[in-house]
Structure 1
Amino acid sequence: MSTRTETPPAGPAAPEPPRVLPETRWRAAEERHRARVDALVAGHLARRERGEKHPVEDFLFTYYSHKPAQLRRWHPGAGTVLAGCSADGLRWYRPATEWRDGADGAVLDVEAFLAKKASTAGFVLRLLRSVQGRPAHLGCFGLHEWAMAYRAGQGGVRHSAVPLRLGPEGTDAVVESHRISCSHFDAFRFFTPEARPLNRLTPTRETQTELDQPGCLHANMDLYKWSYKLTPLVPAELVADCFELARDIRELDMRASPYDLSGHGYEPVRIETAEGKAAYLEAQRGFAERARALRARLIGVLAAVEPLLG
């Protein structure tokens, strides 16, 4: 007769206690972040003060809704108590006295944040996991920008303040001599009506999780959008890393476009030539690798709160 006693099944693991950042450390981190962002946005702010527009860099502050002042705000993300910080006036934060032995401290109220943002966070997590699990398809050669100018003439293009590098007829000829395979809805929706039937795909908002893929420049730029939409759950340093990636991708996007940006100091990537295609592919591959690392970090942030997403 056995006398072995059954071990009761383990209950749910207790949540990890938050880490506590001394005030000197988090204030130093906050200052480093602000200095980093100030350097990144200085040119844009100076031009805005002068009333000047920029066909490349303004995109990061017009198409994307995150303002420089918002990008500048530092947040540690979930699970970090800011010692010596009051939660008063800090949206989504609450006092953290239970972890500070009665001393002042503030911590992100993850439950309150996700009560409002669970739907967005759940969608973003599903999208990022879908994209991360796919191979990168390269070789689109930035033709989405050409398709946005197809048969539009000089006056009907999105960036009419700068000339078309090959003129309207030359631009149309490049589109007609290539296969266009744009998978990203937020690029495809700006195609001219004449260009839409030339695309091998018909992306929609509803098919985004099925079609977005890790080689797409715009899908990788959008890591910035997803990260700031989930601020302050996403740490500020990760948002800034995604901003830098989007800034660098935007430069390639426009250098490979049909526009002549030499007046703004940009050498074209001539995707209508073999040499230009090779240069584009190399840069696209590098951006896909950078985006994969940032996407993994974003997935990690959201996976940590997945039980709260419903």
Structure 2
Amino acid sequence: MTTSLPRHEWLEREHAHLLRADALTSAHRERASRREKHPVWDFLFTYYNYKPAQLRRWHPGAGVQLEQASERLSWRWYSPGADADSAIPDAAAFAHEKSDLAALIERMLRRTASRPGQFGCFGLHEWAMVYRADEHRHPVPLRLGQAGTDAVVENHDLRCTHFDAFRFFTPEAVPRNRTELTRDDQPLFEQPGCLHAGMDLYKWALKLGPLVPGELLLDSFELARDIRLLDMQASPYDLSAWDVVPVPIETAEGKAEYVRQQRGFAERGTRLRAALLQAWLGSAQPVAVSA
């Protein structure tokens, strides 16, 4: 069933969205104006390659008609609504134009949601990326030094399930992973306990454009931001110069704290994953997902 929003109502929601998006990106924009790099937060805008301006653009979500919104008819994946001068995000048009992408996103969301979370990786993917390496992805010192970092990798079982982390493993670390991951097999291994699967909800939400309500997009960005902090806290890097307190996963206490936060992020991700499917595909009943 189509929902219709009067112009004054959707303009209010759009304005609230702009304020929230600007607040979420203000520190990054200020650093960018000074050409100042940050080893933790730049990732959200460089790895995912989305600009703060894209977060500012509010959409109502698939099937929600905007009244007196003729200006939106020139926007991509908007179609005329039932009323004069109304506009509505068009999921069918998106699926037609981006059929492969639509199929991939739905497959990734549904298959990830269908699996139980795994909580035994302890964030060792970041350690595997610098294992026995002369050069590192981040120009930041290692908290335990190279020998100490290598020893942590060698004393643990690598259980990474996320291809886009695995592909950055050093050659020496690749055979140490429990599973050799490939891009084609990514939907087979993605699971909701993975920090990067949670961060990727932000990516999927942006790729779906106007089919995702702006509020849900920003919720996904906030989850990615919060996960990114733990990702770097649990990494082998010494980030004390940026006031980042480590979660030392080489210790029993650090592992327990990592898993505690990981489970919380998995629960948030499960809710957002279901909300993305619900908003996009517009099913009458909530989408069933595994916890």
TM class by shorter chain equals over 0.9
Instruction: Provide the secondary structure at the position in 1 that maps to 2:210.
Output: coil
Distance 1:131 1:79 in 2: 25
Return the letter of the residue paired with 1:26.
Answer: W
Residue type at the aligned position of 1:112: A
C-alpha distance in 1 between matches for 2:9 and 2:280: 25
Choose the corresponding residue for 1:91, options 76, 90, 114.
Answer: 76
- 1:176-235 CA deviation, whole Å, 9 max, x = no partner? 111111111000000001111111111111111111111111111111111111111111
Residues 125 and 302 in structure 1, CA contact (< 8 A), matched pair in contact too: no
Match in the other structure for 1:8: none
> Which protein shows a greater Rg?
1
What is the aligned counterpart of 1:234 among 212, 222, 227? 212
Distance across 2 between alignment mates of 1:210 and 1:111: 26
Distance 2:73 2:10 in 1: 17
Is 1:170 the counterpart of 2:155 in the alignment?
Answer: no
The aligned counterpart of 2:158 is 180
Gaps of 5+ in 1: 1-15, 306-310
> In the alignment, does 2:94 pair up with 1:110?
no
User: What is the root-mean-square deviation in Å for CA atoms of aligned residues?
Assistant: 1.3
Equivalent residues in 2 for 1:72-221, closer than 5 Å: 72-86=56-70, 87-96=72-81, 99-100=82-83, 102=84, 104-153=85-134, 156-160=135-139, 162-221=140-199
User: Which residue is 1:256 aligned to?
Assistant: 234
Distance 1:72 1:22 in 2: 21
Out of 19, 23, 32, the residue aligned to residue 35 of structure 1 is 19
Identity %: 59
TM (norm. structure 2) is 0.94
Q: Which residue of 2 aligns with 1:70?
A: 54
Q: Is the 8 A contact 2:91 2:280 kept in 1?
A: no
Paired letter, 1:281: V
CA contact (8 A) 1:151 1:194 kept: yes
**Worse-superposed segment, 264-273 or 114-123:** 114-123
Q: How many residues align?
A: 282
Equivalence for 1:51: 35
Contact 1:146-1:175 at 8 Å conserved across structures:
yes
CA spacing shift, 1:91–1:302, aligned 2, 3 Å: closer
1:25-82 Cα offsets, whole Å, 9 max, x none, are: 1000001111111011000000000010000000000000221101110000111221
Does residue 1:270 correspond to 2:248, yes or no?
yes
User: Residues 279-290 of structure 1 correspond to what in structure 2 (within 5 A)?
Assistant: 279-290=257-268
- The 2-side partners of 1:64 and 1:159 are apart by 17
Q: Is the 8 A contact 1:141 1:280 kept in 2?
A: yes
How big is the shift at 1:293? 0.4
- Specify whether residues 88 and 137 from structure 1 end up closer, same or farther in structure 2 by C-alpha distance, changes over 3 A only: closer
- Calculate the TM-score normalised by the size of structure 1: 0.88
Aligned with 1:107: secondary structure? strand
Secondary structure of residue in 2 paired with 1:151? coil
Q: Is the 8 A contact 1:137 1:213 kept in 2?
A: yes
C-alpha distance in 2, partners of 1:303/1:107? 14
Amino acid at match of 1:93: Y
Contact 1:121 1:302 in 2 (8 A): no
Distance between the aligned counterparts of 1:251 and 1:175, measured in 2? 21
> What is the deviation of 1:238?
1.1
